[in-house]
Structure 1
Amino acid sequence: MGLADFGTIALMAAFALCVYGTVVPHLGVRTNNWNLVRSAQNASILTFFLVALASAILIHALITSDFSIIYVWEHSSTDMPLVYKFSSFWGGMNGSLLFWILVQSFFAMIVAYRYQYSNREIIPYVIATFNAIMAFLLLLLIGWSNPLELQTVIPAEGRGLNPLLQNPAMAIHPPSLYLGFIGFSVPFAFAMGGLIRGKMDNEWVLTTRRWTLMAWYFLSSGLILGGQWAYEELGWGGFWAWDPVENAALMPWLTGTAFLHSVMIQEKRNMLKIWNVVLIILTFGLTIVGTFLTRSGIINSVHAFTQSEIGPAFLIFLALILVIGFALLFKRIQMLE
């Protein structure tokens, strides 16, 4: 059994913990057993370390050119500079999904640790929301897009990273976008926790203020860097070509910007409560739209991956987010008026 197998086992264990962390907080609230909630928080922390282990194994394989792993063979080569070997981690579809889960689990770990003694009424459902998101992503990763999958015949050389991606911006632009996209999952999780629990005062807005600012900052930086990169690499003659994936990244920035300003009014005047919940549901939903567009194969874009089996799954996930989110909003709408 090699390192890649250990990485896959770590991902499977992380998936099991996420399922546990999705179900157990609700049981803890129903039975008034805070130890169950605490165990789900600990499960969220452990999930990050398991995903980090799998990620470290993939990065090690990329750097050492271990072509027994299919993903390494497809996106790396022995003559590539070290920075591009490292950037190959998120340069392909499977690796980028693992990177997404790594950042998502890191944020979930921080939330689970930072708020373990505060926000006691809604934190169980915040943890459950985070774990449900990660369980979905890990299911897709393990079942259909495992970047640690091995091949029987080991090639002497890899295909290398797409030449268009061999740019210094590759080390900054994609991570910035991911940090922005995933950062908005924090206020989304707190909003869902408040809706499920029936506690829709200003606490969730105040708690997630810095998270919202961070997500908006990274998403803005990623869009600016992407425009500059496109101008240099693709010769579009401008910083924006209305590329479908560019537009998909811009849409959550627009709703996120509106949310960022709107929550200030809620904090100061106790207004726009319904509107803020709608905005954060739409913002998080639009991040999934962008992911669907890049992985479905339905559009022709330099940003898009080839058609894959997981594209339709993201469309179903988006539908669940919107249906559940707006159903909870409708249920609690009198509390927000």
Structure 2
Amino acid sequence: MILLQSHSRFLLDTLLNRLQNIEKAVEADYHWAEFDDVRYHIQVTMKNPHILLLSVSLPTPPQETVFLGGLPSGAIEAIKAAYGAVVQILDPPRDGFNLTLKLNLSKLPPDEEYKHALLVKIASVREVVLGAPLRGILKKLTSRTLASNTDGLVALVHRPNESFFLIPQAEKVTVIFPMRFKDSIDIVLATSFLQEFVEARRMAGLNTAPPCLWSPTPPLELKEAPAEALSANAGFVTFVIFPRHVEGKKLDRTVCSLSTFHAYVSYHVKCSEGFMHTRMRRRVESLIEALDRAKPGMENAKNASQSRSFKRLSLKEARGNSN
């Protein structure tokens, strides 16, 4: 299975292209959307070619989630920690956006490898912002600083008007995703995919992966969640994260995987649907060919056409036949 990258490919390509052609002082004004929930806007003027404004519009949060100043909890601190002096947060952001960052390309580090890594991090602004509350909780799990009496339900936004839930405890964090899809075919494929996903976890080679469960009904851990947040038509997926899953560099990978889990499932559902459509088209074409070969008289007509012979006439003979 393919794991999705945390960064925006178009944003990274735009940053790299801008950096390579910074002396040309060309204006730029791009709008695009990704993951069906995040909108981006990049603007560069000829007057300040070294300054790039990046605006981000986040998914509309449901009522059970907490946004502070239009951003998830801890997002400002996460941005400052990730980007340092290269990026400045503009307050207020551009109209229609939750966040506007001012990127000074002249302050990028001279080392090419470190510079590219920083640009990839900037292109991962979605994960940095939306994953900030999740990262904060998992960091406490790593350092064993989660309170032993912590049993509250934490709702985090990951799609427009949709959230997933965390149940932090002293030795583990339970993550529950209500899975929703609009198309009826997607619902069937996603349900089957998630059931196989859980079964694959039981393979010997995945013993160290987080425990994974799927259920058609809300788990007991969500008994305090609002009813409208539990309307999942493809069931509920539960992951149990232990400290060993977020140690060292595993933290970034875990945050990325959880932040993009719904997009990951949607991607494979669409790939499966496309694959089945291709197979069905090929099957239909082969059946049509078989039916054509079975038509009465087709073989006789074929033999008759093969038995015909043609004689090349001279110009004189052709004129005689025409008369």
Query: Which TM class, normalised by the smaller chain length?
Result: under 0.3
* Higher helix proportion: 1
User: TM-score under structure 2 normalisation?
Assistant: 0.24
Structure with higher Rg: it is 2
User: TM-score under structure 1 normalisation?
Assistant: 0.23
